[in-house]
């Protein structure tokens, strides 16, 4: 059984995966286009226990904190990607949960400290996805 965390993004979303009961240092991190996420979810559908989707649209006024119109548009597009993933999970009856984003972001050093992963680098989307499944 797999647990998957997804940080939706307009370019490539962060994806974190681990087997149920596995240690946090057994997390696999990647960045995937939306269609690659759909392929992953369909391919692993029988093995998925739960998909956790970061759902910024659940935070009231999430667009009002942006400093520019372009940033607001990008945030709205990210929300749309997450909502498409949610609809995909509903359609294919894949268990999922929507997670409100936590205000603090992990640095690469914090990711390594909390998970004991042996990575030379990570990006913010991967770290945000990992936060969704660490400790589960």
pLDDT score for 15? 97
The answer to whether the CB of 125 falls within 8 A of the CB of 45 is no
Higher pLDDT, 72 or 127: 127
Q: What angle do CA 25, 27, 29 make, to 5 degrees?
A: 130
Q: What is the mean pLDDT of residues 53-65?
A: 72
Question: How far is the C-alpha of 4 from the C-alpha of 96, rounded, in Å?
Answer: 9
Q: How many independent structural domains does the chain possess?
A: 1
Average pLDDT over residues 52-72: 70
* pLDDT above 70: percentage of residues in the chain: 86
Domain that holds residue 39: 2-133
Predicted pLDDT of residue 62: 54
Query: Is the whole model's pTM more than 0.95, yes or no?
Result: no
Can you list the positions of beta strands (E) in the chain? 2-7, 13-19, 28-32, 48-54, 96-99
Which residue shows structure tokens 């372009």? 70
How many other CB atoms sit within 10 Å of the CB of residue 11?
12
Residue recorded with tokens 């307009």:
10
* Domain CATH code at residue 111: 3.30.420.10
Cα 80 to Cα 57: distance, rounded to the nearest angstrom: 9
Q: What is the pLDDT of residue 101?
A: 83
Which pLDDT value is given to residue 29? 96
The alpha carbon dihedral of 3, 129, 32, 68 has a sign of positive
pLDDT per position as a tens digit, 66-107 = 566 666 666 667 788 999 999 999 999 999 999 988 778 889
């Amino acid at each position: 059984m797999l647990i998957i965390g997804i940080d939706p993004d307009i370019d490539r979303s962060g994806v974190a995966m681990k087997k149920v009961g596995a240690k946090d240092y057994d997390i696999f991190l990647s960045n995937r286009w939306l269609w690659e996420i759909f392929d992953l979810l369909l391919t692993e559908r029988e093995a998925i226990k739960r998909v956790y989707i970061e759902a910024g649209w659940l935070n009231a006024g999430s667009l009002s904190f942006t400093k520019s119109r372009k940033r607001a548009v990008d945030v709205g597009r990210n929300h749309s990607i997450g909502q498409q993933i949610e609809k995909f999970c509903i359609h294919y009856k894949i268990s999922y949960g929507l997670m409100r984003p936590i205000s603090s972001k992990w640095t690469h050093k914090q990711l390594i400290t909390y998970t004991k992963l042996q990575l030379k680098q990570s990006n913010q989307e991967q770290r945000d996805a990992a936060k969704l499944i660490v400790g589960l």
